[in-house]
Structure 1
Amino acid sequence: MVLRADGAKTIVELHGDWTVETVGRMDATLRDVEESVAPGDIVIDLSDLGLIDTAGAYIIGRVTRRCSEPDGDFHFIGEHPTARRLIEEVRARTTICPAEDEAGYGFGPALARIGAGIEAVLREALDTFAFLGKTIMTGFRTLANPQRLRLTPTIWAMEEVGVNAMPIIAVLSFFIGAVVAYMGANLLQTLGFSVFTVELVGIAVLREFGVLITAIMLAGRSDSAFTAQIGSMKMQQEIDAMRVLGLDPFEALVLPRVIACVLMAPLLTFGAMIAGIFGGMIVAWSAQDISPTLFIARFHQELPWDHFLVGMSKAPVFGLVVAIIGCRQGMMVSGDVESLGRRVTASVVQSIFAVIVLEAMFAMMYLELGI
């Protein structure tokens, strides 16, 4: 490339090939011309131009884009079979975005970041509800035509979500019940009410801890697996291939996992309750000399079924929320591994957050209902 002056005009003589492999070394010079010469005084000589591709067309056309007539004839001299047409085409399809303002410091920028965060949270919640609505409509469509239900993937997901998760959930619930019993032992012994440890363990495990531990373990274990499985299929374009074949990804991938979580969450919760009560009973026996016979008799005598039903009523809701969030994040994965990692992390964090919020809402609702 050669620059020469012709009166008030600056002529940019182009030599050789201007392709993606060669334009890098000319970019800085063209930027200097663009900044130092009036846009109407730039003339591009195409006489000795060789090959050109879209990268070369972009940086050549960039020097005249500030002019009111960037593709005017007065900007070009010499002949080339494709250069002018390609330059005009690239410019027409290029959007020039202004540089983003750097985030400053102080009260105003802090409020702007808070507002952007709140907007992102609301948008994420809205998109999640939209995904839930689409899943529900798919479920109704499957109910109207039951042979569309993918039974084999549903059974596989039930085994993965329920049977394989039961040991770890039972162990965690056992220790949670033991911890609650130890807390009761330390507190109630000082007051002479050691026997009330039975009620403490029963209410805590049946109403709150059993279903909460189950939901958190589903979020950490099954939810991340859903996101990784669907996300890897999205990365390898398997979901696009399913659509080309006329298969609905919601029927094939999302609905079986949602059904599995909704059905298996109550069973896992029941197992967690049994394990938690057993852990509390062992601690009460060893630390407070409350025999298993007395523990079970007082448990049946003093605790109504309401506590059990309250805990079990939360399980399908938590299972639905966990499955919806995990499947949606998997469907949002783009074509790189970094996106997959971000979506798996977001899936677990959002699921645990949603479970805690729903737990608080259930607690307030049952408090108002007197249950």
Structure 2
Amino acid sequence: MNTLSAAAIAQPAPQEFALSGAWTVRGLGTLAPRLAALSAPAGSGLVVDCAGIEALDTAGAWVLQKLLRQLRAAGSAVHLRDFRPEFARLLAMVGKDLSTQVPVTSALLPVSSVPSSHLEHLGRSAAGSLEQVMALLGFVGEIALAFTACLAHPVRFRWRPMLYNLRSAGFDALPIVGLLSFLLGIVVAYQGADQLRQYGANIFIADLVGLSMLREFAPLMTAIIVAGRSGSAYAAQIGTMSVNEEIDALRALGIAPLDLLVLPKILALSIALPLLTVFADLLGVFGGMLMARAQLGVGFGEFLDRLVKAVSVTAYLVGVCKAPVFAFIIAVVGCFHGFRTRGGADSVGRQTTRSVVQSIFLVIVADALFSVAFSVLDL
């Protein structure tokens, strides 16, 4: 049985260092004093010969990264020579979060200090966005498979988390949704009152408030409120569980995270958002009705009579039918970014912010597509 020698560092020439032995947890014991006393000539190119390294683990890679940073801090350009490819991959993985990266090559290559161009930055951003889109599509596919499995085995479905999310995302959101919808109805009626008064068309305030609130404003504003309120909560909850390794603990216990954390949220929000939209319709129309009476002298009875004639059942259902799609977008994006959380609290905040921004963006895009589709279908 071969025994690995302890890690060692020698300086055969002023501009060259030779590393040897096992750079592992077991072999690094006597290396600390040697590294502390190490000195390198400033302002010259240094070569670090790695041909003698017999083994390398994460502890040794971390010490090697620290050594290279120490040499570079003295103002020297550092090159690695004869570094095994498998060691190079481990060194790069350990040092990926360090501010200074040392190029690992088999030949002597200069360190490139040319900053990234705008075109390269654009390309990397596009590649990152494409990767995120593909990951989101894969996540949707996993949700579809989990939902199909729950349909095949209904005992797997977790009703208690769904009811909890139904309360937190639905019932608890009634005050803020109702208040903002009421104010929005007042604003729409107030802005249209002056124009309608000029043409003696006061009664058409019911058309303006009814169609705008029921078809567009109520479902869209409700979705935006829920995205900021519940979508962020989904991302923060799952992200915190991921950072605390609770997701891995669930898998170790044989509990599918999608069944426990994702499906109940999607189904609960798909039920809650249409109901919140109906509630927003009522409060928005009520706010517009109050402003119509105050600004245009249109009574409640006249307003309601005109509203029934102006707003068809189709126009009402158009707004309500958007809500489940918006709910699916909000829940999926929030949970997706929660599962992508890595690191610590900073990552939780970053992914939560991304979930809210992307949810609102996708909701508005979906609403625009709905408008185009309904216009083509003449609905």
TM over 0.5: yes
Aligned to 1:197: 205
| Deviation of the 1:156 alpha carbon | 0.1
Structure 1 residue 237 corresponds to structure 2 residue 237: no
Separation in 1 of the partners of 2:331 and 2:187?
A: 29
| Deviation of the 1:115 alpha carbon | 3.6
Q: TM-score, normalised by structure 2?
A: 0.78
Counterparts of 1:1-371 in structure 2 under 5 Å? 17-19=30-32, 23=35, 26=38, 29=40, 35-36=45-46, 55-56=62-63, 59=67, 66-67=80-81, 93-95=90-92, 96=103, 101-104=114-117, 109=118, 111-371=119-379
Separation in 1 of the partners of 2:227 and 2:34?
A: 51
Q: Does structure 2 conserve the Cα–Cα contact (< 8 Å) formed by 1:201 and 1:280?
A: yes
Separation in 2 of the partners of 1:113 and 1:90?
A: 29
Local SS of the residue matching 1:290? coil
Separation in 1 of the partners of 2:203 and 2:233?
A: 43
- Mark the CA change 1:32 to 1:204 in structure 2 (over 3 Å): closer, same or farther: same
Separation in 2 of the partners of 1:326 and 1:36?
A: 49
- The letter of the residue matching 1:17 is T
- Mark the CA change 1:13 to 1:357 in structure 2 (over 3 Å): closer, same or farther: closer
Local SS of the residue matching 1:133? helix
| Deviation of the 1:103 alpha carbon | 2.6
Separation in 2 of the partners of 1:166 and 1:53?
A: 57
- Mark the CA change 1:348 to 1:91 in structure 2 (over 3 Å): closer, same or farther: closer
Q: Does structure 1 conserve the Cα–Cα contact (< 8 Å) formed by 2:61 and 2:90?
A: no
Runs of 4+ in 1 over 4 A off after TM superposition: 1-5, 8-14, 30-33, 52-60, 62-68, 88-93, 95-101
- The total of aligned residue pairs comes to 333
Separation in 2 of the partners of 1:134 and 1:100?
A: 43
- Mark the CA change 1:342 to 1:22 in structure 2 (over 3 Å): closer, same or farther: farther
Separation in 2 of the partners of 1:163 and 1:289?
A: 35
- Mark the CA change 1:209 to 1:93 in structure 2 (over 3 Å): closer, same or farther: closer
Instruction: Summarize deviations over 1:162-209 as a string: whole Å, max 9, x none.
Output: 000011001100111111101110111112211111000000000000
- Which range is displaced more, 230-239 or 318-327? 230-239
Which one has the bigger helix percentage?
1
Local SS of the residue matching 2:376? helix
Aligned to 2:6: none
Structure number with larger C-alpha Rg: 1
Q: Does structure 2 conserve the Cα–Cα contact (< 8 Å) formed by 1:226 and 1:326?
A: yes
- The letter of the residue matching 1:126 is M
- Mark the CA change 1:334 to 1:99 in structure 2 (over 3 Å): closer, same or farther: farther
Q: Does structure 2 conserve the Cα–Cα contact (< 8 Å) formed by 1:184 and 1:194?
A: no
- Cα RMSD (Å): 3.4
- The letter of the residue matching 1:314 is K
Separation in 2 of the partners of 1:30 and 1:313?
A: 72
Q: Does structure 1 conserve the Cα–Cα contact (< 8 Å) formed by 2:15 and 2:40?
A: no
Separation in 2 of the partners of 1:367 and 1:18?
A: 74
Separation in 1 of the partners of 2:318 and 2:89?
A: 63
- Which range is displaced more, 119-128 or 130-139? 119-128
Instruction: Summarize deviations over 1:294-340 as a string: whole Å, max 9, x none.
Output: 11111112221111010011000000000000001111111311100
Separation in 1 of the partners of 2:258 and 2:112?
A: 39
- The letter of the residue matching 2:116 is A
Separation in 2 of the partners of 1:169 and 1:18?
A: 64
Percent sequence identity is 33
Q: TM-score, normalised by structure 1?
A: 0.80
Instruction: Summarize deviations over 1:193-234 as a string: whole Å, max 9, x none.
Output: 111110000000000000001100111000000011111111
Q: Does structure 2 conserve the Cα–Cα contact (< 8 Å) formed by 1:185 and 1:284?
A: yes
| Deviation of the 1:132 alpha carbon | 1.3
Q: Does structure 2 conserve the Cα–Cα contact (< 8 Å) formed by 1:138 and 1:250?
A: yes
Instruction: Summarize deviations over 1:217-267 as a string: whole Å, max 9, x none.
Output: 111000000011111111111110010111100001011101111111100
- The letter of the residue matching 1:23 is L
Aligned to 2:25: none
Aligned to 1:79: none
Separation in 2 of the partners of 1:43 and 1:259?
A: 59
Q: Does structure 2 conserve the Cα–Cα contact (< 8 Å) formed by 1:10 and 1:43?
A: no
Separation in 1 of the partners of 2:89 and 2:371?
A: 59
Local SS of the residue matching 2:30? strand
Local SS of the residue matching 1:165? helix
Instruction: Summarize deviations over 1:255-298 as a string: whole Å, max 9, x none.
Output: 11011111111001000000100000000011111000111111
| Deviation of the 1:122 alpha carbon | 2.8
Separation in 1 of the partners of 2:198 and 2:37?
A: 82
